[in-house]
Chain A
Amino acid sequence: MNVLPKWVDIILIPLINLLLALIVAGIVVIFIGENPVEAMRLLIVGALGSSYGIGFTLFYATSFVFTGLAVAVAFHASLFNIGGEGQAGIAGLGVAIVALNLDHTHWLLVFPLAIIAAALFGAAWAAIPAYLQAKRGSHIVITTIMFNYIASALLIYLLVNQLKVEGAMAPETRRFAEGAHLPFMHEMMGWIGLSMTKTPMNISFIWALMCCVGVWLLIWRTRLGYEIRAFGQSEPAARYAGISPTKIIMIAMLISGALAGMMALNVVVGGFSQKLVNDPIQGAGFVGIAVALMGRSHPVGVLLAAILFGVLYQGGAELAFEMPSISREMILVIQALVILFTGALENMVRGPVTRLFLSLRRGAI
């Protein structure tokens, strides 16, 4: 059935898709009246040209690894978790509750508890859509979209009515005390005698790498992972093999929600803000969709795609600074094009590439 060599499937086709997305983005840049090659150079230099840029790039990438893994795990069970945004937002609440209560202690205590809180809150927010899909057959795409909006309303309500600093205007919590600040990467580098520019990149990045390994082990080295993949490939076959669909849908979505939730660590107690603000997620939940598609739902692919999107976010910000006519929303356009070409229009590239390889093979015989 699959005539393509593996490297074509996991490397060549995503690269062609990315290239197409960049070409269309380049056309948009020309339309605006700027030079796309120069824009690309500014973007890459802004993201990777200094340890400052790299720090920010990897800070953004940390968030995208978590949300990308979340979407990827659900994809393996052929579930589309579009609710990373809401799950991460609610997880932000959990992280903030831990930080607000324990910020007089030490990060060594706060970090593990914040991880647990983020995972529990994120998973809880995914649990209801998962249950409705498993038991009532409600389409998970629609329910998770609805839960994103419900989460955002709930978060604003709690910030305005419960968590806001007395008398302040902005709907946000107080700034956490020193004890809740996760160590920044430049601080950790300092411990081993290396110097690095001050950036918001923090220990969550290392936790994100560990989660990549964890997801790989789960999906390809455990019985549960096998069951998730089997269910994702064919529900009737999985059912016939004695795998409970309810169990797999629930577990896959809970893991997915927990992973999405972990993203909140990076922005609530990890970065510079050190408080829970309104809309702390800033669309990272949706970037996770692009990251998982681009990374073919494999942890290594997700990591690489997350770094790519980190480059886009940091480089895009620098680009908007250097070329004011290209505003920051260019990132959204590129992101949309990547989702379009790698996800929705995938067959547009796959078809011709498959035909090409078939004719090459026929020629070889």
Chain B
Amino acid sequence: MDLATILQLFDSSLRLATPLLFACLAGLFSERAGIFDIGLEGKILASAFAAGAFAAVTGSAMLGLCAGLVASIMMSLIHGLASITFQGNQIISGVAINFLASGLTALIGQNWFHQGGQTPPLSGSGRFQSLTWPLAEKLNSLPVIGPIYKELISGHNILVYVALLCVPVTWWVLFRTRFGLRLRAVGENPGAVDTAGISVTRLRYQAVIICGILCGLAGVYLSTAMAAGFGREMSAGRGFIALAALIFAKWKPVPALFTCLLFGFLEAVAIRYQSIDLGFGTVPVQFMQALPYILTVVILAGFVGKAIPPKAGGRPYVKER
């Protein structure tokens, strides 16, 4: 395997990790505030559709982005309404959101564009184009560093850099601001937060909306940056892989980055090689695809370090009885 192949592999790992990273950080905000969210998948799908559709109609990727964010936040608010205001079961609400997004995107897509649920292909300003960093071509002649700079660091679209930037921002917000402290507290002991005179409802809604924005970015990335247009079920389980990554990363932002890069790498390898020959046997592509889930089960089982979710996660907060 030469340098160029390795670079291509890392390059596509980064591209594939981006939506996972957005969704994983989205889940992180929500679950840290005590709202379990298995509806990440549905929000990504809704946003991908809205972004693809509006970018196709208006020809502007930015308007697509706005539409995607609105769609995802709407889904988040349904989840918030069910799990915060009406103290319903958060798992059930998440399941409903996944179905709702899956059904509505196909139904409206078919009705709107008559292309079997797809949106028209995007081109030009309808997509987020890759940015070429200064001197990328000139430095390319340098050995090793040149190609790394050109292939790996430069040449991605803006959303990839935004996703990477979200990691330190999330860390800073969660662990260095008053809002972050309260957010984490509300996921561990909402009673204490309430006693301090801070509204649990308000904080949890804020968390759910942040979750919607980040899931929205994941969806926008899928349909207007990674692909050129929306295709049916294009989220393809990424919301659940992100959920797996969140657990694997033990609800922490920096490990989330590395987990998403790892899962992105696994996907990149699975796409590039149909099966991998290890000399003593071959690893089938299906095993590579299942590996994120298997790893998560192993982590959940607590055999390799224990993953402990936020204490108040999944339980609605009831102020008084």
Binding site for B on A (CB under 8 A): 28, 32-33, 80, 82, 128, 132, 136-139, 141-143, 145-147, 149-150, 153-154, 156-157, 160-161, 286, 289, 293, 325-327, 329-337, 339-340, 343-348, 351
Contacts and interface: CB of A to CB of B under 8 A. Distances in A.
Nearest to A160: B286
Say what secondary structure dominates the interface of chain A: helix
Closest 6 CB pairs of A and B: A332-B103, A336-B99, A344-B93, A343-B92, A344-B82, A333-B103
Contacts of A146: 240, 244, 293-294, 296-297, 300
Contacts of A347: 86-88
A266 to B, nearest CB: 22
Interface core residue of A32, A334, A339 (most chain B CB under 10 Å): A339
Interface in B275-321: 284, 286-287, 289-290, 293-294, 296-297, 300-302, 309
Contacts, number: 149
Interface residues of B, number: 47
B131 to A, nearest CB: 34
B106 A138 contact: no
Contact of A340 (B93, B287, B301): B93
A279 to B, nearest CB: 12
B247 interface: yes
A351 B237 CA distance: 35
A32 B112 CA distance: 9
Interface of B: 36, 38, 78, 81-83, 86-93, 95-100, 102-104, 106-108, 110-111, 117, 237, 240, 243-244, 247, 284, 286-287, 289-290, 293-294, 296-297, 300-302, 309
B212 to A, nearest CB: 16
A139 B297 CA distance: 10
Given A154-B286, A344-B82, A141 B91 contact: yes
Contact of A345 (B82, B240, B297): B82
A153 B290 contact: yes
Contacts of A345: 81-82, 86, 88, 93
Nearest to A329: B106
A37 to B, nearest CB: 19
Given A138-B301, A333-B99, A344-B86, 5 more contacts: A146-B300, A147-B297, A157-B287, A340-B93, A344-B90
A336 to B, nearest CB: 3
B286 A139 contact: no
B106 A156 contact: no
